[in-house]
Amino acid sequence: MSITLPDLPYAKDALEPHISSKTLDFHHGKHHNTYVTNINKMIEGTDLAGLDLEAIIKKVAGDSSKAGIFNNAAQVWNHTFYWHCMKPNGGGQPSGALLDKINADFGSLDKFKEEFKNAAATQFGSGWAWLVEEGGKLKVTKTANADLPMVHGQKALLTCDVWEHAYYLDFQNRRPDYVGVFLENLVNWDFVASNL
């Protein structure tokens, strides 16, 4: 089974004016697609070739001789997840069980947003900010490069890509502004709730 580049869950211009179609052309069409191409080449003819993405990631995680496979597979997974974390006219606030859980575990939605923005802004270099569930509690984490929650016993609920290619065309070096816009205008709370 080969790994394929999934379609975006919306049109390339659907997130404008917050994220431009030019950014999505490069981010989805070039960066994400390159990870897909790379992982397929790397697993071709190996015992990994018949596995799905999550199985590949779990099988090679922690094996330094397979770091290239892990990085490309994890980046395909991370990006696919990230696209679904956003939607046109997103943002606002969650409702129902998700909002109750955020209030219970962070004290308030504002406190969660503050922690999430801080994690995203302080991730040195490339990486990801996450809202995860671990041991029945919600928490904010950050990972470097391609690292992701599933290999740390955590369930991903929400992510924000803080690699420069995610925001540089639209925000230049203003990562905190991008993260603020992500939370206020783009988050797909329905998707986050569905992961809970």
Per-residue pLDDT tens digits for 90-109:
999 999 999 999 999 999 99
Q: In the chain, pLDDT over 90 holds for what percent of residues?
A: 98
Contacts of 58 (CB under 8 A, 6+ apart): 150, 151
Q: Which residue range(s) make up the domain with 29?
A: 21-84
Whether 9 is covered by a domain: the verdict is: no
Q: Report yes or no: 128 and 143 within 8 Å, Cβ to Cβ.
A: yes
CATH number for the domain spanning 115: value is: 3.55.40.20
Last residue of a domain, one of 38, 57, 84: 84
- For the entire predicted model, the pTM comes to 0.96
Is a pLDDT exceeding 70 seen at residue 55? yes
pLDDT band at 3 (very low <50, low <70, confident <90, very high): very high
Q: Tell me which DSSP letter residue 29 carries.
A: I
Other CB atoms within 10 Å distance of the CB of residue 125: 9
Is a pLDDT exceeding 70 seen at residue 80? yes
Q: What is the mean pLDDT of residues 47-65?
A: 94
Same structural domain for residues 191 and 113?
A: yes
β-pair type (155-161, 127-134): antiparallel
Is a pLDDT exceeding 80 seen at residue 59? yes
d(CA 115, CA 64): 31
